[in-house]
Chain A
Amino acid sequence: MPVVLEHLGKRFGDGAPVLDDVNATIAKGEFVALLGASGCGKSTLLNILAGLEEPTSGALEVPSDGAAFMFQDSALFPWLTARANIELALQLADAAKATTRASRAARAQELLELVHLAGAGDKRPHELSGGMRQRVALARSLAQDRQLLLMDEPFAALDAITRDLLHDELERIWKETGRTIVFVTHNVREAVRLGQRVLLLSSRPGRVVAEWDVTEEHRTDAGRAGELTGTITRRLREEIRRHAN
């Protein structure tokens, strides 16, 4: 089931609209990077997709079982171990109480292995590095077992080496699980690196103003990828400069 946004708008109280007339269609299994300057309403859009906020106008079509969500900071519960964080997600996702504790424990271990953290399950969040915490958070969002995965700048606070690693890891997991991913970022290189499609969101009000397809050629040819990054960066800067005066 695709995600469809039609003339979506959002304003808080009487203020200027944060989002205005946002139109987009995201196919099942697609990896879309949502790009925009800070403060352009990317996170608001993601929150609306996740059902955390209501749009003030327009129509929205999302999978009926909702979406998994990965936050900018890992947002793991500090009183639970990495494993227990994942198990809690499994338990809460299982409203019908169809799973047993043992099956959830086994599934949590699988997910930890998927993010290469099989040995760190008993550690608490504060004992893990930022990159490890984000991987646990990724495993937790996969535990929800929803087709749609929303990611809100999940790697923004990580160092460059860790970020590169997690890009590879996310790509691998996306290919293995076939999720639909909406990945919010303000980093053009990250958007080109990960997305099959890059949507550029303007600022105040937020609106999809441009989009680019990232083809297989861009993935294998560094020159072409760099060119595309340059083009998008230019367009993004143009968008930001509009607000200078």
Chain B
Amino acid sequence: MPTDDTRLAAPPAESRHITSPSLKGNPDELRDLEAGLDKLQSDAVRKAGIDWSRVLLPVAALVVLVLAWQFYVSLGFKRRDLVPGPLDVLGQMGVLWGEGKIQEAVWTSLQRGVVGFLISVVVATPLGLLLAQVRPLRRAFGPLISGLQVLPSVAWVPAAIIWFGLTDGTVYFVVLMGAIPSIINGLISGVDQIPPQYRSVGTVLGANRLQMALQIILPAALPGYLGGLKQGWAFSWRSLMAAEIIAVGGSIGFGLGSLLDQGRILSDMSTVMAAILAILAVGILIELLVFAPIERRLLQRRGLLAGSTR
């Protein structure tokens, strides 16, 4: 078709424009154009002050719950020694504080929890990286690790008592069996979610296996790893309480779990409640003071915080 040919022979006007040298301009103009675009398109730095709703809302929620509790108790459905009110528990807390018992219990448990957790991190991190990076190992041990995470770590208490007796060894063993699998699993799932392109970039940039693991895979997996650490801490803390409730006496020190068990033996509901609240408080404080700031910072630096309700 001759008509078709002539149409094609004349280049589209658009293309003549783009390749036109006149559009290239002089270098200075281009620098300004570029600088202008950069200014327009990049984010301005926003600095926020203290966000009071972050403090006031949780406090308000707490007040509401305590008031509801007080209201229920004041209705008098149950005997006061079975369901103590907030004031009774607070009073008991004061008594325990006076005796120095609550401080001792919190200190003992916290120390063990933190030490157990740190040992777990040191053991689980290289194992997790190894499992995530080496396919045969992952295939061989992956199901076992997942299974260990599902197994309640309390199940290890009887075994631990037989092996280690009533010593701190028992407590640490149970804590480690609880925390290590969940940290490994968190790290593995963090590695699984890395965009494959990061590995290609690493290969192209010439990273060897160790550099790939430490400088690319580990930082890329950090959000998932942090999730694993949080869960690992939760498992440490829970396993610790379970171990302390069951294994009492011997050379095992007096922790929050022991306090709880003592309350049960004495049928002292106020002590039981005080111990539960102390366990809860430690959990909340660790989350608020340790994990939340790290997580916020991590997400913020990667630009993942926009639109989240955190």
Contact = CB atoms under 8 A, between A and B. Distances in A.
A77 B220 contact: yes
B215 A88 contact: yes
Interface in A158-174: 161-162, 164-165, 168-169
A147 interface: no
A68 B38 contact: no
A230 B302 contact: no
A124 B301 contact: yes
B34 A165 contact: yes
Q: Top 5 A-B pairs ranked by shortest CB distance?
A: A126-B303, A129-B41, A226-B11, A230-B11, A226-B16
Contacts of A223: 11, 16
Given A52-B204, A77-B198, A144-B205, A229 B43 contact: no
Given A88-B205, A120-B42, A234-B8, A168 B24 contact: yes
Given A92-B211, A222-B16, A79 B219 contact: yes
A144 B200 CA distance: 15
Contacts of B203: 51-52
Nearest to B306: A126
Given A165-B33, A222-B21, A225-B19, A132 B38 contact: yes
B31 interface: yes
Contacts of B308: none
B19 A69 contact: no
Contacts of A52: 200, 203-204
Interface of B: 8-12, 15-24, 30-31, 33-35, 37-38, 40-43, 197-198, 200-208, 211, 215-216, 219-220, 222, 301-303
A230 B205 CA distance: 38
A230 B9 contact: yes
26 contacts: A66-B204, A67-B204, A69-B201, A69-B204, A71-B200, A71-B201, A77-B198, A77-B220, A78-B302, A79-B222, A79-B301, A80-B219, A88-B205, A89-B205, A92-B207, A92-B215, A93-B205, A116-B35, A126-B43, A127-B43, A164-B18, A164-B23, A169-B34, A222-B21, A225-B20, A226-B15
A220 B21 contact: yes
Contact of B11 (A51, A68, A129, A227): A227
A27 interface: no
Contacts of A73: 197
A37 B37 CA distance: 30
Contact of A77 (B19, B23, B40, B216): B216
Interface size class of chain A, counting residues whose CB lies under 8 Å from the partner chain:
35 or more
B197 A219 contact: no
A88 B211 CA distance: 10
Contacts of A116: 31, 34-35
A131 interface: yes
Contacts of B24: 168
A125 B198 contact: no
A119 to B, nearest CB: 9
A53 B303 CA distance: 32
A120 B19 contact: no
B38 A129 contact: yes
B74 to A, nearest CB: 53
B42 A129 contact: yes
A143 B254 CA distance: 59
A73 B18 CA distance: 23
B18 A124 contact: no
A125 B303 contact: yes
A210 to B, nearest CB: 16
A67 to B, nearest CB: 8
Nearest to A160: B18
A189 interface: yes
A48 to B, nearest CB: 13
Nearest to A92: B205
Interface string A89-115: 100110100000000000000000000
A41 to B, nearest CB: 17
A75 interface: yes
Contacts of B219: 77, 79-80
Given A92-B215, A126-B302, 12 more contacts: A66-B206, A75-B200, A89-B205, A92-B206, A117-B38, A127-B42, A127-B303, A130-B41, A164-B23, A192-B19, A219-B21, A229-B15
Contact of A168 (B11, B15, B19, B30): B30
Contact of B16 (A95, A117, A225): A225
A185 B101 CA distance: 73
A24 interface: no
Contacts of A140: 205
A175 interface: no
A162 B36 CA distance: 11
A60 B275 CA distance: 71
A88 B8 CA distance: 49
